[in-house]
Structure 1
């Protein structure tokens, strides 16, 4: 990715220390994505809309580093997410809702960062999945956070160096509740290994949202009717997610396969959502790079929920990408989803028929089937 580098004033200008002792830089970067979207059924009606972030995120950010000597660097990242069609902030209205952290890094020892961050499963497992082709290729409702719907506040993360293709990450989010170390906490770990064309990764995250109105260090998930309490009633409970993935690259082909197990446990039981709901997801995808400027991809996702409600979701997605340049891409995505069984009402007090749901896009269908067609452009700077 080509990015605009802005070299900051050396600290020596302010302190009188020779400039050679401290070199620093700040990079401004971002992505802008917008698309024309059609859904055959959203709440029993067809929908035509402009819809951003269907291929890449809408975001801009600043990241920087300063050489401290002895192989150490001070590093930071501030990243803002926004809705391109309204100009409003995303991630709950946060100014830097996607990333906001600072830390220290060393090539030989790894890095330690603190602040609001992505968890290790997103860093190491997600890149080996079809989520990179757009949210139509991800888990319905993003029940397993494959599309990084939530981030972790008040977190400390360690990222190891790469040892012969092996790398791991550890994270802990401090709840900050007086008298209770574990309340509102989040913990996560992941490991990835790459050898030649083969890449493997596995990770686990446990997020406890047991504060008032579901407050916790991890964000709540409210995408569509697949996940419990997608409406105005907050989820108070815990989510535990285990995720494994593999990727193999051979010539112009890239093959991905993954499996996840996500368990949503309510601490406040409602009439219908009164015990743990489990989501088991399996997915596979194939990308073919026809030329350096043109790629096609296809994916299939199967998810089954079980517990107080039970449903199955089948989703097939096909996409194309045409690279006008290194920074600008045209894309087209079409997807079909079929659901069978029951899910929860928005307040968690009754069971309703599950609707077809394309990834974590828009709302679920009012029928068992949903079709989505998306034509868009994305630009990176």
Structure 2
């Protein structure tokens, strides 16, 4: 009898521990067909050459969401405390390659402690607070995707960049208010401030009103912020767009010329108000590339001083039925060039429709038109540059996408 009871007794702690822990596998596959006009094909002595472009593209370069898979889990430590972790890998559904420059868990990778009373602390590769609080109230994450995002995601609202080596604190939500802060250690011996990144933010939701604010400050941003993907590192003199994300400087004419900034600052606020089935949104961000001409990155155009962008977005979403969403947005970006040079302006109009076939599968379409004017960061006439798409050969561009997304 003793021999029969003992094995069963030894299993009890194991079963208890299993019940107190959980690991979840999840993911998204988003893929579609894109049409783009005036897509750059070459630069000639007489100017840019372009034409129509048809392509099958992953959600991360034009769709609602980037394709991904991940593991997340929690272990109950008792007393309202849990150990938590998340590993998330991005990939391209149209060719199977890894996203984020080939990083295995390039989207997120962190571990930490969560408490019901005091909030949570996490360490690893994480989103900044502009992404956490400002971005969710924009048109792009709700119905529009990357094509609707601000030009070249200049304020990082679509989390194009993550923060490595970071420590983040997120408070519990009290009376609708949540606050958070992030700090990334540069890790450079003898220079505490080099490659340092820090960010703070807050979100408030009560009834029909939601508000989000975020701020990010990156020292030596060409390395600490734009150079954090393995095969898409910082800009060089031959490639202002950054390796892996560009084959020529033309791939990112909006702010690639400001790679020598010693400091990057992004300050942003967004708000949304629900009126029955409709939600109206407005957002503003200010992005500043400061102390140009530093040793942080290449400066072939000899820039000095500060270049900055103001971005204003107005959007509307209509929940026609529980399964059908319509959206419209207008975005206006104006920039001031470095050392008093003329900046560029970008006007983006967009429409979208999303229909859910089930709770996990939806089909959608998004149409975008952008007009550019002025002089871009490469000191050239500004061309339309829809986020995730090949820049235009002119100052106008139209992009249309029809896609399908499945969540598991």
Match of residue 223, structure 2, among 191, 194, 215: 215
Per the alignment, residue 112 of structure 1 pairs with 121
Structure 1 stretch displaced more, 69-78 or 217-226: 217-226
Structure-2 separation of matches of 1:337 and 1:87: 30
Per the alignment, residue 44 of structure 2 pairs with none
The question of whether the paired residues in 2 share the 8 Å contact of 1:272 and 1:344 is answered with no
- CA drift of 1:234 comes to 5.9
Per-residue CA distance 1:171-192 (angstroms, 9 max, x = gap): 0001111001111010000011
- CA drift of 1:294 comes to 1.1
Per the alignment, residue 38 of structure 1 pairs with 35
> Are 1:240 and 2:265 counterparts?
yes
Structure-1 separation of matches of 2:333 and 2:262: 22
Residues 1:180 and 1:295: Cα distance change in structure 2 (over 3 Å): same
Aligned residues between the structures: 358
> Are 1:290 and 2:286 counterparts?
no
- CA drift of 1:18 comes to 5.8
The question of whether the paired residues in 2 share the 8 Å contact of 1:225 and 1:343 is answered with no
Per the alignment, residue 360 of structure 2 pairs with 327
- CA drift of 1:20 comes to 3.2
Per the alignment, residue 302 of structure 1 pairs with 332
Per the alignment, residue 166 of structure 1 pairs with 177
SS of corresponding position for 2:375: strand
SS of corresponding position for 1:32: strand
> Per residue, is there more helix in 1 or in 2?
2
Per the alignment, residue 7 of structure 1 pairs with none
> Are 1:228 and 2:252 counterparts?
no
The question of whether the paired residues in 1 share the 8 Å contact of 2:110 and 2:125 is answered with yes
Per the alignment, residue 305 of structure 2 pairs with 275
Structure-2 separation of matches of 1:48 and 1:79: 30
> Are 1:129 and 2:154 counterparts?
no
Match of residue 20, structure 1, among 16, 22, 25: 16
Structure-1 separation of matches of 2:385 and 2:10: 56
SS of corresponding position for 1:41: strand
Per the alignment, residue 354 of structure 1 pairs with 382
Q: TM-score, normalised by structure 2?
A: 0.83
Per-residue CA distance 1:258-287 (angstroms, 9 max, x = gap): 000001233244325443220100001101
Residues 1:45 and 1:26: Cα distance change in structure 2 (over 3 Å): same
Gaps of 5+ in 2: 1-8, 41-49, 229-233, 235-240, 246-250
Structure-2 separation of matches of 1:274 and 1:368: 26
The question of whether the paired residues in 2 share the 8 Å contact of 1:38 and 1:49 is answered with yes
Structure-2 separation of matches of 1:257 and 1:15: 56
SS of corresponding position for 1:162: coil
Structure-1 separation of matches of 2:395 and 2:225: 35
Q: TM-score, normalised by structure 1?
A: 0.89
- CA drift of 1:86 comes to 1.6
Structure 1 stretch displaced more, 17-26 or 177-186: 17-26
The question of whether the paired residues in 2 share the 8 Å contact of 1:313 and 1:337 is answered with yes
Per the alignment, residue 201 of structure 1 pairs with 212
Structure-2 separation of matches of 1:201 and 1:344: 29
> Are 1:261 and 2:286 counterparts?
yes
Structure-1 separation of matches of 2:259 and 2:310: 23
SS of corresponding position for 1:149: coil
The question of whether the paired residues in 1 share the 8 Å contact of 2:147 and 2:389 is answered with no
Residues 1:135 and 1:55: Cα distance change in structure 2 (over 3 Å): same
Moved over 3 A (4+): 13-22, 217-224, 233-237, 272-275
Per the alignment, residue 6 of structure 2 pairs with none
Match of residue 77, structure 1, among 74, 83, 86: 86
Per the alignment, residue 92 of structure 1 pairs with 101
The question of whether the paired residues in 2 share the 8 Å contact of 1:225 and 1:344 is answered with no
Per-residue CA distance 1:6-64 (angstroms, 9 max, x = gap): xxxxxxx9998464366100000000000100101111221110111111121000000
Residues 1:21 and 1:344: Cα distance change in structure 2 (over 3 Å): closer
Structure-1 separation of matches of 2:307 and 2:214: 20
Q: CA RMSD in A?
A: 2.1
Per the alignment, residue 193 of structure 2 pairs with 182
Structure-2 separation of matches of 1:366 and 1:193: 42
Structure-2 separation of matches of 1:24 and 1:288: 40
